Structure 1
């Protein structure tokens, strides 16, 4: 039951999950064509799951519903979602064919962002990326740090299925922040090989991210020291340290 990353737009991934009995679902369809091509002559998906309202994650919903009008669509309680989406909030359980997912509120990238967790999978949209995290378009640094802390508490074997192929760009930044991290060097080399061969770098595991991702390692001495060298006031304040790390990444050019 390995999720499949369908490339879309410039660097998005739409996630398709299927079992051997013909059941399937789709997460964050930013456009319809990749989903329709992967589906072929398959029956309708069990559900469409949406993590947040941005067009590159919901833009294909209308065309998919034209093909399969009875498919349920689940997403956060946000009026900016496509019409007809069923709103689900923190702690809700979404049932879709053979799958059961718990909804986690993970604000930061947007104020209403959610993730879906179940069956060893985490569909986290633009909250957590491999070796990075989402920009703070609507939420605060405190919001995002709390969301990442929540995701970091999930089992280490959880597969992280995020919304963009950003791993190499994130690795370039992470290695400036945490240059002596051997696990990060290995992950960077692995991701480079995967991209050179035309493969997605995702899903990663949460355990890998805990070893390598500076945004999940804000309490690691090496990361905190790197941030404090830029902003001494961040040394003793993890929220301010996280905020400065995010600002640093926002302005980073490899």
Structure 2
């Protein structure tokens, strides 16, 4: 399995999943159409399916345009509120995409939005805006109880699981993580690594579940109250 990051907007990543090198791709959260088209042309491949994690425009705006040229399945949240979704999904649904032998499991992860879902296949989790490296999404629609439960669901995945977040927020998130846990040596060390990567224009993703358990205050929050205090503090940080 090969996963490539397609940069979009200022800090989004549209993920392209290929079962093997040269295969058509599954496109995750196509907020923009043109970066996807450029990537497809550069790799001389097509699209086998789309995965949508939630309804926000920067994850969906390119979908309908791309569907004009690629009549393929679109897997996304149930509810009928996202135009183009042909295969609505719920918590713990399992499915496979034609052309890809892997099975994907869906996790409902409300918090950032109520409709947010994540896509998991052994070794890889596509988490949209639920989990960021050293952070999590803003709580636009969910409750602290929902968001904390969603993060704990992801924390139960194997430590070796690659985590594909939808934004390059790692450096800013680590500044907050250092304020929240100033004695955490793992955060201190990782902050230096991330600074070096970003100075050279390199991405910090994917992360792993194991790493996030060490450096992410939100994933490390043991109670709902702790999580809620962190999220409120981060909103004002």
When normalised by structure 2's length, the TM-score is 0.94
* Structure 2 residue 62 is the aligned partner of structure 1 residue 77: no
Alignment of 1:6-85 (within 5 A): 6-18=6-18, 19-40=20-41, 42-68=44-70, 70-85=71-86
**Contact 1:160–1:203 (CA under 8 A) maintained in structure 2:** yes
Residue matched to 1:249 = 234
Over residues 89-137 of structure 1, what are the superposed CA-to-partner deviations in whole Å (9 max), with x where a residue is unaligned? 1111131222321001111011111000003110000000000001111
Give the Cα–Cα distance (whole angstroms) in 1 for the partners of residues 218 and 175 of structure 2.
14
Shift of 1:79: 2.9
Residue matched to 1:123 = 126
**Contact 1:44–1:71 (CA under 8 A) maintained in structure 2:** no
Please, which runs of 5 or more residues in structure 2 have no aligned partner?
Answer: none
Residue matched to 1:240 = 225
Residue matched to 1:234 = none
Give the Cα–Cα distance (whole angstroms) in 2 for the partners of residues 128 and 43 of structure 1.
29
**Contact 1:12–1:164 (CA under 8 A) maintained in structure 2:** yes
CA 60–106 in structure 1, closer or farther in 2 if over 3 Å, else same: same
Residue matched to 2:218 = 215
Alignment of 1:137-152 (within 5 A): 137-152=140-155
Give the Cα–Cα distance (whole angstroms) in 1 for the partners of residues 140 and 85 of structure 2.
25
Over residues 140-172 of structure 1, what are the superposed CA-to-partner deviations in whole Å (9 max), with x where a residue is unaligned? 000000000000000000000011110011000
| Cα-Cα RMSD | 1.3
Runs of 4+ in 1 over 2 A off after TM superposition: 41-44
Give the Cα–Cα distance (whole angstroms) in 1 for the partners of residues 234 and 85 of structure 2.
36
Over residues 178-198 of structure 1, what are the superposed CA-to-partner deviations in whole Å (9 max), with x where a residue is unaligned? 011111112111111111111
Please, which runs of 5 or more residues in structure 1 have no aligned partner?
Answer: 220-237
Residue matched to 2:92 = 91
Shift of 1:138: 0.5
Give the Cα–Cα distance (whole angstroms) in 2 for the partners of residues 15 and 89 of structure 1.
21
Matched residue pairs, number?
233
Over residues 24-65 of structure 1, what are the superposed CA-to-partner deviations in whole Å (9 max), with x where a residue is unaligned? 211001001111111117343111000001000011101111
Shift of 1:80: 2.5
Q: 1:106 aligns with which of 106, 109, 122?
A: 109
* Structure 2 residue 163 is the aligned partner of structure 1 residue 156: no
**Contact 1:65–1:71 (CA under 8 A) maintained in structure 2:** yes
When normalised by structure 1's length, the TM-score is 0.88
